[in-house]
Amino acid sequence: EGRVWLEGGEFERFRGGAHVPGTTGDLGYFVALNVRETDGLRDTFRNDREQISGKLVYSPADGSRLTLRGEHIDRDEVFPGDLLQSEFDTDPTQVGRIAGSDEELESQLVSLKFDQTVGTNGQLEIVSVVRGQDSEGLARFQGPNRSELVDLTIKALYHHRWNTASTDLIVGVERF
End-to-end, the C-alpha distance of the chain in Å comes to 36
Encode pLDDT of 95-114 as tens digits.
665 666 778 889 999 999 99
Instruction: Categorize the per-residue pLDDT at 23 as very low, low, confident or very high, splitting at 50, 70 and 90.
Output: very high
pTM beyond 0.75: yes
Encode pLDDT of 57-80 as tens digits.
999 999 999 999 999 999 988 776
Distance, CA of 65 to CA of 84 (rounded, Å):
56
Burial status of residue 102 (CB atoms within 10 A of its CB: 0-12, 13-18, 19 or more): buried
Q: What is the pLDDT of residue 19?
A: 96
Q: Which helix (H) or strand (E) holds 87?
A: helix 85-90
Q: Three-class SS of residue 42?
A: coil
Burial status of residue 80 (CB atoms within 10 A of its CB: 0-12, 13-18, 19 or more): buried
CB 129, CB 113: distance < 8 Å: no
Q: What is the pLDDT of residue 57?
A: 97
Q: Is the pLDDT of residue 171 over 80?
A: yes
Mean pLDDT of the chain: 87
